[in-house]
Amino acid sequence: MTSFRRAVLSTSVGLLLACSGTTSPVAGTLKVNLTDPNNGQDGAVLLALSAPVPPVSVSAGAGLTLWGGPVATANARLVLTGNVTSGTILTLQVDDINKFRQYIVTLQQVAQTSGYQLEASLAGYSVTVTK
């Protein structure tokens, strides 16, 4: 094999390996963030979690209490109570933060602080999962 062919072959193999798109799992924390149009007037939220695998652990945000943990399945329902405001309401310890788009959290219900009356509409509320 000539040195030119050897160089082309080495470069081709190097490019294939670099572009393979595989990454090793990176354990870490995902944040579940809430946008709450009634900031400070809500006292509970019901969330549905769908994940590729159960999180290693789940923790409530500051000032909130988590009901429904620990999460042992890839699909779970969780309730957070307390002074619910916009911001990080939940953290998930996961085996691979590169799969954060596969962790889906859906807001199911919201209850007001006073009397825990359910909100008639979830318009204006949103939940996102970020690294």
Integer Cα distance of 32 and 61 in angstroms: 9
Structural domain spans, the chain: 24-130
Q: What is the pLDDT of residue 31?
A: 98
Residue 9 CB: number of other CB atoms within 10 A? Answer: 11
Phi, psi of 28 (to 5 degrees): 175, -165
At the topology level, CATH places domain 24-130 in Immunoglobulin-like (2.60.40)
Q: Could you tell me the pTM of the whole model?
A: 0.81
pLDDT in tens, 10-55: 555 554 445 555 579 999 999 999 999 998 899 999 999 999 999 9
Note whether 97 and 30 are within 8 A (CB): yes
Q: What is the pLDDT of residue 109?
A: 98
Q: Please provide the distance, in angstroms rounded to a whole number, between the alpha carbons at the two ends of the chain.
A: 48
